[in-house]
Amino acid sequence: MDISVVIVSYNVRELLRRCLASVYAGLQGLQGEVIVVDNASTDGSAEMVRREFPQVRLVDNPHNRGFAAANNQGIGLSRGRYILLLNCDAEVVGEALTTMVDCLDRHSEMGLVGPQLLNTDGSVQSSRRRFPTLATAFVESTILQRWLPNLGHLRRYYVMDRPDNLEQEVDWLIGACLLVRREVVEQVGPLDEAFFMYFEEVDWCHRIRQGGWKIVYLPSAQVVHHYGQSAEKDIPHRHIYFNNSKCKYYAKRYGPLAAAVIRLFLLMTFLYQMAEEGAKLALGHKAALRRHRLGVLFQVVRSGLKG
């Protein structure tokens, strides 16, 4: 079997339907299988898969096991030479699957490839990255990024010094669509389930690179990624999981002290945002919006950024 497509789903039934339809259209000419691991969706996603895609191998989890663990369930069931981890909010464009499989077939030194991701409107979505440094932790996806959006460090992290229409080796790729060799998984292991969601692909790519494999961005293959559709349904937990996983990643790479400092800094940024929203509320500016944001921020701070 050429390829096993593993899709983790959570409460995006309509996007999952479109995702599956695009996968089966894209599998033409390939020997493949599709495995959907549903993380206790409440919107009828699992029922839709059973009814409309009976050929899918469905794992219907009784509770949300998290993104990394659910992907590992699918990897454990897979039989293909290559394993594709595909987000449920993504759609394969044209012959993207064949293009990625052909690339790995032709280049034995490549362990993982990812396509060019497109936004819903067809524009190119940023998906190439260099590995984060300690400085990245304090700027990327924090309030400092709002103040310093054109910081040179961020431009380097997002690989903005290279064109996005050329095939290139990178440190890591956004995990919306990743095709990996089975030998790579056998060598470096599956995703680290300590990451409930977010940063699991950074850590995985780090281990793959350490194992001597190349990671390649392949713009000749394209996938539309309707970014964040699952996470947007629960904004407080999106912040909590993202920042908790960030701290876990830095603990793994730089040690517990670095992670503790980063966690404290991140909590301070959320406290600052609470003060900012509180001041705007006191001035009567968009009171309903300010109360909502304060509620979200309060949940985040109360969590201590621990999942």
DSSP state of 181: E
Domain boundary among 185, 210, 230: 230
Within a domain: 151 = no
Same domain, 197 and 117: yes
Within a domain: 246 = yes
Same domain, 199 and 224: yes
Same domain, 180 and 106: yes
Same domain, 70 and 207: yes
Same domain, 223 and 98: yes
Within a domain: 114 = yes
Within a domain: 212 = yes
- The domain tally of the chain equals 2
Average pLDDT of the chain, as a whole number: 96
Same domain, 215 and 273: no
Domain boundary among 209, 230, 251: 230
Instruction: Assess contact for 229 and 126: CB atoms under 8 A.
Output: no
Same domain, 210 and 116: yes
What is the per-residue pLDDT across 225-281, written as a single tens digit (0 to 9) for each? 998 665 556 899 999 999 999 999 999 999 999 999 999 999 999 999 999 999 999
Spatial CA neighbour of 72 closest among 88, 81, 83: 83
Q: Which domain holds residue 277?
A: 234-303
Q: Is 67 exposed, middle or buried (0-12, 13-18, 19+ CB in 10 A)?
A: buried
Q: For residue 136, what pLDDT is reported?
A: 97
What is the per-residue pLDDT across 124-143, written as a single tens digit (0 to 9) for each? 999 999 999 999 999 999 99
Q: For residue 227, what pLDDT is reported?
A: 84
For 103, left (φ over 0), alpha (ψ -120 to 50), or beta? alpha
Within a domain: 51 = yes
Same domain, 283 and 198: no
Q: Which amino acid would we find at residue 62? A: P
Within a domain: 57 = yes
Instruction: Assess contact for 189 and 242: CB atoms under 8 A.
Output: no
CATH of the domain at 66: 3.90.550.10
Instruction: Assess contact for 143 and 269: CB atoms under 8 A.
Output: yes
Q: For residue 229, what pLDDT is reported?
A: 67
Same domain, 106 and 168: yes
Within a domain: 34 = yes
Same domain, 264 and 246: yes
Q: For residue 231, what pLDDT is reported?
A: 55
Give me the mean pLDDT over the 89-97 stretch.
98
User: Where are the extended beta strands (E) located within the chain?
Assistant: 3-9, 32-39, 57-61, 82-87, 90-92, 110-118, 128-129, 168-169, 172-173, 177-181, 214-225
Q: For residue 270, what pLDDT is reported?
A: 97
What is the per-residue pLDDT across 176-197, written as a single tens digit (0 to 9) for each? 999 999 999 999 999 999 999 9
Q: For residue 165, what pLDDT is reported?
A: 97
Same domain, 168 and 284: no
Q: Which amino acid would we find at residue 1? A: M
Show the DSSP H helices in 107-157 as ranges: 134-139, 143-147, 152-157
Spatial CA neighbour of 262 closest among 251, 252, 275: 251
Same domain, 263 and 279: yes
- Residues 165, 141: Cα–Cα separation, whole Å: 25
Q: For residue 232, what pLDDT is reported?
A: 59
